[in-house]
């Protein structure tokens, strides 16, 4: 079954850290660009970070640079991989639902990323208390 399952969201205080996980399965994950989007209440979904299939290049939104780190495990199963988003120095404006996403054409747009997404996870909620 092709799916993306996120976990790791929760409540954290301003300045705190969280690590989100995305378990991707049912397809050859390394053949696709994979990353994270987020959506705050009343706002559009915006790209946060991605790992490109080609050479494993990592791309970050401006707001994520220096605070967030995207990584993946080195699974021997080509049909399964976990992608992480380590988030540090969290701010109230980082709150929202974080979605794992597979797609193409991840590029910067303004201070975030945009992409053509083919597969979405259901999301995990991140709440940042002030």
pLDDT digit string (tens) for the chain, length 130 residues? 999 999 999 999 999 999 999 999 999 999 999 999 999 999 999 999 999 998 999 999 999 999 999 999 987 888 999 999 999 999 999 999 999 999 999 999 999 999 999 999 999 999 999 8
CA distance 127 to 74: 29
CA distance 127 to 38: 12
Which tokens go with 2? Answer: 């092709």
In the chain, the N- to C-terminal Cα span, in Å, equals 40
With contact defined as beta carbons under 8 Å apart, do 6 and 20 qualify?
yes
CA distance 39 to 94: 9
pLDDT at position 77, please? 86
Closest CA to 34 of 108, 84, 94, 77: 84
CA distance 113 to 11: 25
Closest CA to 83 of 109, 107, 110, 119: 119
**What pairs with residue 96 in β-bridges?**
126
Which tokens go with 114? Answer: 């945009």
CA distance 37 to 41: 14
């Amino acid at each position: 079954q092709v799916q993306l399952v996120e976990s790791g969201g929760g409540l954290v205080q301003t300045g705190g850290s969280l690590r989100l996980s995305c378990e991707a399965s049912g397809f050859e994950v390394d053949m696709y660009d994979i990353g994270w989007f987020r959506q705050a209440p009343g706002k559009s979904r915006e790209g946060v970070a991605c790992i490109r299939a080609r050479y494993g290049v990592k791309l970050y939104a401006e707001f994520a640079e220096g605070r967030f780190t995207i990584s993946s495990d080195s699974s021997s199963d080509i049909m399964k991989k976990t992608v992480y988003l380590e988030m540090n120095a969290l701010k109230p404006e980082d709150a929202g639902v974080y979605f794992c996403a597979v797609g193409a054409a991840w590029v910067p747009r303004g201070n975030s990323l945009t992409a053509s997404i083919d597969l979405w996870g259901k999301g995990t909620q991140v709440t940042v208390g002030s």
